[in-house]
């Protein structure tokens, strides 16, 4: 069975960087993975991505020796288990406010004795290049389980969430965390002391627990700021943002040249 290099690097205290997929497009997933990102996240919570497309995207990412992580639509058994059955190497579970929420995610994402995940299908072991028996024995060890800290309540409980056995790390939802305090995210990043204190509290709690904290950055500059604040699983931009920026920048150059002709 393949080794989850992202999980091993995080366990060794390293920082890993990846990017986000909201578009249901396996070719685009493979192209992004080919650029050298450590991981690609396939977003089934906010992205309009059907299960069959997500499965194809996982395959495309793995073909580039990149780690596919899938965000489940909700902290619910069928959502989490279907994500793992399609072969994800990591699963992100949204809206975790308490340790009990985290234990529920572990129950559905981990095989016994750690959890109650059901075993079925053949696709999962194929993406790990192994047989069903080996997959069943080693999945708990290799699959990355992240839970999302997205509210002020969840930040207040983050130490207890991190203490749940089976959780590898926490991932801040920066937009929803800002909204939980009544403000849009662009107005608070490095501008609102109370918000930045929440950001730092999560990173510090993760470091104290021996686990890791992750977060999504809008761009490369912001990603470096987050790494400096102690975040070790850092997302940078995403497919729609890259497509928009590349298209707009090219068009702006051409339009400017047209004006000189």
pLDDT tens, position by position, 25-49: 999 999 999 999 999 999 999 999 9
pLDDT band at 201 (very low <50, low <70, confident <90, very high): very high
Structural domains of the chain sorted by starting position, each given as residue range(s) with its CATH number in brackets: 5-258 (3.20.20.60)
Do the bridges between strand 169-172 and strand 144-149 make them parallel or antiparallel, or are there none, so unpaired?
Answer: parallel
The alpha carbon dihedral of 118, 119, 123, 124 has a sign of: positive
Whether 9 and 16 have beta carbons less than 8 Å apart is answered as: yes
How high is the pLDDT of residue 122? 82
Mean pLDDT computed over 81-87? 96
Where in the sequence numbering do the catalytic residues fall? 46
Instruction: Decide: helix, strand or coil at residue 160.
Output: helix
DSSP string for 179-232: HHTTS-GGGTTTT-HHHHHHHHHHHHHHHHHTSEEEEEESSHHHHHHHHHTT--
Residue of 168, 164, 148 lying closest to 211 (CA atoms):
168
Q: Report the mean per-residue pLDDT for the chain.
A: 97
What is the rounded CA–CA span in Å between residue 90 and residue 4? 9
SS3 78: helix
């Amino acid at each position: 069975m393949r080794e989850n290099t992202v999980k091993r690097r995080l366990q060794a205290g390293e920082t890993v960087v990846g990017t986000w997929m909201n578009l249901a497009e396996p070719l685009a997933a493979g192209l992004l993975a080919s650029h050298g990102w450590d991981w690609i996240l396939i977003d089934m919570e906010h992205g309009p991505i059907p299960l069959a497309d997500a499965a194809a995207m996982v395959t495309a990412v793995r073909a580039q020796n990149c780690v596919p992580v899938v965000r489940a639509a909700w902290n619910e058994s069928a959502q989490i288990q279907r994500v793992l059955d399609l072969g994800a190497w990591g699963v992100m579970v949204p809206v975790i406010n308490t340790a009990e929420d985290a234990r529920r995610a572990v129950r559905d994402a981990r095989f016994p004795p750690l959890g109650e995940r059901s075993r079925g299908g053949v696709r999962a072991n194929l993406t790990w290049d192994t047989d069903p028996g080996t997959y069943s024995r080693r999945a708990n060890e290799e699959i990355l389980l992240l839970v999302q800290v997205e509210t002020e309540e969840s930040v207040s409980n983050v130490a207890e969430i991190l203490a749940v056995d089976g959780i590898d790390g926490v991932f801040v939802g920066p937009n929803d965390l800002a909204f939980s305090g009544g403000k849009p995210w662009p107005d608070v990043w490095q501008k609102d002391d109370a918000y930045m204190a929440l950001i730092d509290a999560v990173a510090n709690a993760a470091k104290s627990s021996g686990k890791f904290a992750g977060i999504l950055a809008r761009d490369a500059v912001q990603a470096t700021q987050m790494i400096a604040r102690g975040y070790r699983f850092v997302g940078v931009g995403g497919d729609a943002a890259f497509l928009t920026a590349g298209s707009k920048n090219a068009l702006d150059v051409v339009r400017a040249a047209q004006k000189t002709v």
